[in-house]
Chains A and B, each alone.
Chain A
Amino acid sequence: MSGSLDVFLARRWEDLVMLTLQHLAVVALSLAIATVLGVLIGLLVWDRNVPRTAALTAAGIAITIPSLALLALLSPVLGLGWAPTVVSLVFYSLLPIVRNTVVGLREVPAHLIESARGMGMTPVKTLLSIQLPLAWPVIVTGIRVAAQLTVGIAAIAAYVAGPGLGLYIFKGLSSLGSVNALNFTLTGTICVVLLALLLDGAFVLIARYSTSRGLRV
């Protein structure tokens, strides 16, 4: 039933590269937005008990909501394509990033903050040159978890015409029974897996080179 995979790949090579890049782009954009938002929320709540618990509980509940449900709710408001995709990817990325920001900031020893203050650092300076650098490895881990999550969710977003490899996965379904059905879904799925694994590997490097030099192991 299935057409040969090498002919399929040869014909659609460029298409596949473009979809992979789109997939990467939407994930990267969403992660960038989620990192800024998540770290900000983390900074606002980490040292206050009630807001912290509220933020983490809300994010914990939010992440259980199935992605197709969220995408469907967003699409009548935001239309199809990039907008609902980016919003939902940011939504799911927030939990790991906020949680890890809070954990990272809470792990900074109190005496370090005190000595920074004692040296005459302002709270902002302490935050920027002591607390955030020390918490950063934990925050990056959060972003890495979010990356794994969003690569998979972005594939579902193709159902609301989101960008990326989900297009091929769904094309296989819509051409069920035709020669290339398996090829479409298989290549789409495998490319998503490869992208996720490559991105995970990239985060090892990002974590290493974005961590303050004195903290690198």
Chain B
Amino acid sequence: MTVHTGQAPRLGLKRFTTPLAVVVALVALFAWLSSLTLDSIEQRTLNTSYLLDRTQEHVLLTVVSSALVALLAIPAGIAAYRVRSKAVRAFVIGLGNIGQATPAVGVVILLAIVWQTGFYTALISLVAYCFLPALRNTLTGLEQVDQATREAARGMGMTPRQVLWRIELPLASPVILAGLRTALVFSVGVATIATFINAGGLGDMIVNGLKLQRYPVIVVGAVLVAAIAVLIDWAAGLVEDLVRPRGL
């Protein structure tokens, strides 16, 4: 799934409509919350320290797994590209397709059953789940580089290594970054599921709220998760535009 393909860079104030909308939504949420009288069950989860802990766990899981995906998938994609073998390419693309068809909840729970429950299991399944799309984007991004450009670089006397670092990677960077952005947004969603295997995060609130039939708990958990997802996607888009080589 490539949800994000190079959108035109938004400029000025427009760029900040998304975080502004998120802040407005959060203010509205907490205003609504403070107008409620909470029972003892709700008070146990709807307090600042609990909310901060869960949010921290969620963001940690998302950011660490995405960083690991970037560290693993980009070099692997470059390696797969440099091998220049049809079989390796077909294998990576095929694996990517199967990975895309695999339900995240299945991966998370399978790993919990065969290994253990907890934070590290969630982390590993997140990395495994987001690795393939990032790998595939790296490979296809590098392949999309125009052959003529590559030849021109060679003609100017660049070594293959220089061609990779100065021509191919910069030209492929929008596609590679789009893959990482997709991975980030995926991981916010999958980190929500991590609650099923006792890995914490805001999914805890959603699941507890459902189990105990406390609507305010569900709403706060769900809105916070959605806010994180939207903000992370927005920040990634910002980085995408800033990092993109000037000439592109």
Residues of A at under 8 Å CB distance from B?
60-61, 63-70, 72-73, 75-76, 95, 145, 148-149, 151-152, 155-156, 159-160, 166, 169-170, 172-173, 176, 181-182, 185-186, 188-189, 192-193, 196-197, 200
Contact = CB atoms under 8 A, between A and B. Distances in A.
Interface of B: 1, 3-4, 18, 97-98, 100-107, 109-110, 112-114, 117, 185, 188-189, 192-193, 196-197, 203, 206-207, 209-210, 213, 215, 218-219, 221-223, 225-226, 229-230, 232-233
Contacts of A152: 101-104
Contacts of B109: 169-170, 172-173, 185, 189
Contacts of A67: 189
A68 B101 contact: no
Contacts of A151: 101, 103
A70 to B, nearest CB: 7
B103 A176 contact: no
A195 to B, nearest CB: 8
Contact of A189 (B102, B209, B218): B102
Contacts of B192: 66, 68-69
A156 B114 contact: no
Contact of A182 (B100, B114, B117, B229): B114
A201 to B, nearest CB: 11
B11 to A, nearest CB: 14
B1 A176 contact: no
Contacts of A176: 112-113, 117
B105 A148 contact: no
Nearest to B232: A64
B226 A69 contact: yes
A192 to B, nearest CB: 5
Given A73-B219, A75-B210, A160-B210, A193 B105 contact: no
Contacts of A156: 103-105, 193
A72 B107 CA distance: 21
A189 B103 contact: yes
Given A65-B230, A160-B210, A173-B109, A76 B103 contact: no
A145 B101 CA distance: 11
